[in-house]
Structure 1
Amino acid sequence: MSKVDFEKHVLTGIDDYVLRARQSIPGRDALFSIARSCLEIKLSANAKILVVGAGGGEEIISCGKDNADWRFVGVDLSEEMLKLATSRIKHEGLNNEIQLHKMEVIDLEDRGFDAATCFLTLHFVPDDGSKLATLQAIRTRLKPKSPFIVVDGAGQRETTEFSDNMMAWKRHAQNNGMPIDFLDKMVENAIELPFVTEEREVELLAEAGFSEIRKIYQGAWFNGWLAVRKE
């Protein structure tokens, strides 16, 4: 599976990552609320959840605050982002059982998860077999019929829709207070990402062994799907 330079693509420095993410991702707070709600109606009180791309800690904090018996195992390739996750989790005072590992999900030995999430991470992974391998690695670590929520960027390059979504995203960040000197670099970094179309994303999910795939979120070029592992 291809290694990806995640550090190259972070929106800005680690110290203000959370602020920049909130400024730039349309409906970010609603996104995490929707995801949490989808999991809460499907999971037991002591569910074990795999978080792929756990750096920053947002999924764990959002889901763990009011579900104290949920257990989390998070993986991420960025040591600095995992440090941020650790710091934020401690600051929030979470008492959940939480393990964070600097590794790819394909290297994780743990199995038998009740759910998995992969937020704002998969669009860094190229569709050269690596994206499919990542999804397959997530699927094999889930129990049958367990839910999986993936949120990432998708779109058809060199189309008016893609260009308009990118410019609307830039204006959204500007309207929410992102400094002007960050904006052009933010878009430049995003355009370099190995996007696939929404249709290809659904195809990859199905090929990896997921079913009941449905969209639960969209904000500009960010898209979120809920799926379940086939039996």
Structure 2
Amino acid sequence: MTLSARQTPLDFMAAFSDPEAVARYADGPRRFVPGFEALHRMTGILLGEHATPEARVLVLGAGGGLELRALAEAHPGWSFVGVDPAREMLRQAERTLGPLMDRVTLVEGYIEDAPPGPFDAATCLLTLHFLGAEERERTVRAIHRRLRPGAPFVAAHGSFPQDEGGRSRWLARYEAYAVASGVEPEQAMRARAAVDAALAALGPEEDAAILRSGGFRDVEAFFAAFTWRGWVGRA
């Protein structure tokens, strides 16, 4: 969903605070993010390589609850702290999780509001692209400080070439994929324009470098789908 710094673009935050928009949220990522459900499954596998069966997991950008539900169902012994600044999205997460909420604590806020840990694993999906490079690195460092040594961290978000020709080409593909997935062409065009105007997307090489500068080692790319990339690293 969203999260992290207090510099999240206001137009996106407004959408995540609209109860009607939030109620429709679950359908959106599946149409705009190729392999959305597979991304959640891969995240669970990657975290599970180093997290114990009783791991405590930090989920930054937890609003909506889709990632939390997927991880909680795949790992019955894990407990979670989910952090997000959008109250309506956290309410949606409660509805999405249902009885799984007995293993989840939800925190309204940003990374500064997350418990100090130490956590056994962390995720930040579809979130860091809301932040500029400096704020992104600061957030990654704050996640790292909350993890046990060697704990796994998975990040995935919008990341694609940012040269003039490359950015335009990949955003066109982002729009085309949404239309092919059933989004109305006008809505897909508006989404592309919003991403182009407000999202602080970086190139994949710069994103990987920020994870390393934020303290993570063994950073590996594991996911690439049009304008989306994902990495795993260890604290």
1:3 aligned residue? 7
1:209 aligns with 2:197: no
Which residue pairs with 1:159 in the alignment? 164
- Map of 2:194 onto structure 1: 189
1:97 deviates by 1.4
Within-5 A mapping of 1:7-46? 7-8=13-14, 13-46=21-54
Q: How is 1:78-93 mapped onto 2 (pairs within 5 angstroms)?
A: 78-90=86-98, 93=99
Q: CA deviation at 1:158?
A: 4.0
SS at match of 1:17: coil
Q: Is the 8 A contact 1:114 1:146 kept in 2?
A: yes
Using the size of structure 2 for normalisation, the TM-score is 0.90
Q: Secondary structure at the match of 2:45?
A: helix
1:58 aligns with 2:66: yes
Between the aligned partners of 2:35 and 2:164, the Cα distance in structure 1 is 24
Higher helix share: 2
Shift of 1:59: 1.5
TM-fit CA distance, 1:55: 0.3
- The 3 A distance-change label for structure 1 pair 15 and 9 is closer
Residue 150 of structure 1, aligned match among 155, 160, 163: 155
% identity of equivalent residues: 27
Change (3 A) 1:219 1:9: farther
Aligned residues of 2:121 and 2:151 also touching (Cα < 8 A):
yes
Distance in 2 separating the partners of 1:221 and 1:119: 14
Which amino acid letter does the alignment assign opposite residue 191 of structure 1?
D
Kindly provide the CA deviation profile for residues 107-158 of structure 1, in whole angstroms up to 9, marking residues without a partner as x.
Answer: 323311000000000000122x211110011000000010000001123334
**Correspondence for 1:123 among 112, 119, 129:** 129
Matches of 2:115 and 2:101 in 1, distance apart? Answer: 24
In 1: Cα distance, 2:150 partner to 2:86 partner: 30
Report the Cα offset of residue 2 of structure 1: 4.2
How far, CA to CA, are the matches of 1:156 and 1:183 in structure 2?
A: 20
Which residue in the other structure is 1:139 paired with? 144
Aligned length: 225
Quote the residue 1:109 is aligned against: 115
Moved more, 184-193 or 163-172: 163-172
In 2, are the aligned partners of 1:9 and 1:190 still within 8 Å (CA)? no
Moved more, 57-66 or 161-170: 161-170
Report how far residue 96 of structure 1 moved.
4.8
2-structure distance, mates of 1:75, 1:148: 15
Q: What does residue 168 of structure 1 align with? A: 173
1:227 equivalent in structure 2: 233
Amino acid at match of 1:147: P
Q: TM-score, normalised by structure 1?
A: 0.91
Output the aligned Cα RMSD: 1.7
Q: Which moved more, 1:19-28 or 1:102-111?
A: 102-111
* CA distance in 1: counterparts of 2:35 and 2:167, whole angstroms: 19
CA distance in 2, matches of 1:29, 1:66: 12
Unaligned runs of 5+ in 2: none
Q: Is the contact between residue 110 and residue 141 of structure 1 (CA under 8 Å) also seen in structure 2?
A: yes
